[in-house]
Structure 1
Amino acid sequence: MSRLNFCCNISWLFRENEFTERFDLASKAGFKAVEMGWPYDIDSEKLVAVKEQSGVECILMNTGSIRNLGFAAIPGAEEEFRAELVLALKYAKALKCKKIHIMAGKLPETCNQYGDEDCKAKHYPEYTNTFIKNLQYAAEKLAPEGITGLIEPINSRKDVPNYFLTTHHQACDILDRVNRPNIKYQLDFYHLQIMSGNLSGNFKTLLPRIGHIQISQVPGRGEPSCPGEINYEYIFTLLKTHGFTDWIGCEYAPSKGTEESLQWFRKLCNNH
């Protein structure tokens, strides 16, 4: 069976330390790569320096910000989307990062995606068409750099009620309509479990589209070894059995300190 490759999400792990220190901490913990959310408040040259010194690869970053979660699906915000894509591309090129999560953004505040069906019906077609056009635009800009754009459904039942992209069915329809080889699916088992369940069946169906995976436990979003709804020992065996060799991002909120929360990772590495 294939070996699993884990990268450390330094926006979530090692938060006991300054952001620029987390590259080295991830390396010392045994990770060969990192991913991150939004590094844009730190000069790219400084990030390159600490990344190179640590010896880790940079795998993934997001467009947008923690405040707006992107503009890619927002009608009338095409200029804002292109600006956030330019910024992400600048940092990705500097850090030699080959994946960018293109964040869709939120529906209007008047909508509650979990309960307001009328609001969904009103806004979905326009938001969907905007998202498709912007993803096709992104695909053209990312292709010459060898960068893959990713879209990720984020649950609306617990974490982000107004996020536009929330289910794997919706994401697959959009990917089919975008029809670009460098726009793929970012599978977060945490969000998939909350919105759909049937993790093994959905993983097998989604596998040809997957460009990245992220993991955390449900319901508390802690490390995979926390008590919860997802049997990660089974999930990891499933990934190995199906030959998944791409990166798996550890995007979780440690239930203890980061170092203590990594016992599952060290155990897994020792068993390889």
Structure 2
Amino acid sequence: MAVARGRPSTTAKFGLKFAPHEGSFASRGGLFEQIAYAADQGFTAWEDNEARARPVAQQEQLARTLAQRGMTMGVFVASMPQWSKSRPILGSTDGAEREAFLTDVRGSIEVAKRLNATRMTVVTGFLDPKVPHDIQTARVIDVMRRAGDIVAPHGIAMVMEPLNTRTNHPGVYMQSISQGYAVARGVNSPAVKVLADLYHEQIQSGNLIPTLDTCWDEIGYIQFGDNPGRNEPGTGEINYGPIVRHLKAKRYTGVIGMEHGNATSGRAGEDRLVAAYRMIDSADGAA
């Protein structure tokens, strides 16, 4: 496949590292055409949850393409639950699923290196109704500490993603950023941090800016998505302008994953997506 090479763009780069993903600009072609288009719009990062499942050659091509366009690789998923089976249960009495989780983590290290990724997403699974919650927390901390010991020597951090239970993922163990903070503090490793997905947090807890502040030391990655609908900023109730101003004030230099769909399909929706991010990235931050 011919891949668009790096070339200068007259479009101003975004102030923050907003990261589209495959599908954000679907009308522009396949994965690599979408990356080229995103770069031409001023985006300086890319996110690819599916990267681990891609062939090695495509992973390598992805890394080359991002480097050519001066873009940072965001997260990919290192370990994801089997949603239909409500597994794994990392806090269960049976340790087999914890061992399988660690196998996933080990297998993701080479993927991260191939992609030049320093962050990879893990989901801490589901609750066991037969085991006291505090016992499950202790077991999750234990397995995440073991995972951190595996990952830390490679300069990579796992980011644990809390998920909402009210709209999307009933029964999951980690349900808020503050809960992720407690686990990360228990693990006490630079290789285990929290993914602050503000779509999930708004549904589950709200209070977004104070939560970011309180948990800041353990937040290793951020994702945006409006609620309801999980589409681009400005389509729901979250006032993303002040959140962006707050992140700039804190001198956040990490990637912000655009973990959402487009409210409108086709090229009109893609133009609206870019405009929404231009609006919140602007100096006045108006949403």
Length-normalised TM-score, structure 2: 0.80
SS state at 2:109 partner: helix
Are 2:193 and 2:219, in contact at CA under 8 Å, matched by a contact in 1? yes
SS state at 1:26 partner: helix
Which amino acid in structure 2 is aligned with residue 61 of structure 1? F
Of all paired residues, the percent bearing the same amino acid is 25
Are 1:149 and 1:182, in contact at CA under 8 Å, matched by a contact in 2? yes
CA RMSD of aligned residues (A): 2.6
Aligned residue for 1:232? 240
What is the CA distance between 1:210 and its match in structure 2? 1.5
Aligned residue for 2:39? 27
What is the CA distance between 1:196 and its match in structure 2? 1.1
Which amino acid in structure 1 is aligned with residue 164 of structure 2? N
Which amino acid in structure 1 is aligned with residue 19 of structure 2? C
Distance 1:106 1:72 in 2: 5
If asked which structure has higher relative contact order (CA below 8 Å, sep 6+), I would say 1
Any gaps of 5 or more consecutive residues in structure 1?
Answer: 109-118
What is the CA distance between 1:74 and its match in structure 2? 5.0
13-22 or 229-238: bigger deviation:
13-22
37-46 or 189-198: bigger deviation:
37-46
Length-normalised TM-score, structure 1: 0.84
Counterpart among 48, 51, 57 of residue 39 in structure 1: 51
What is the CA distance between 1:266 and its match in structure 2? 3.7
The aligned length equals 258
- 1:85-164 alignment runs, 5 A limit: 85-107=105-127, 119=129, 122-164=131-173
Are 2:89 and 2:127, in contact at CA under 8 Å, matched by a contact in 1? no
Distance 1:90 1:230 in 2: 37
Any gaps of 5 or more consecutive residues in structure 2?
Answer: 1-13
1:222-269 Cα distance to aligned partner (Å, 9 max, x none): 10121x211111111122222222221111111013522221224456
1:88-143 Cα distance to aligned partner (Å, 9 max, x none): 212111111000112111235xxxxxxxxxx3x73523432332122111211211
Quickly say closer, same or farther: Cα 1:66–1:127, change in 2 above 3 A.
Answer: closer
Which amino acid in structure 2 is aligned with residue 48 of structure 1? E
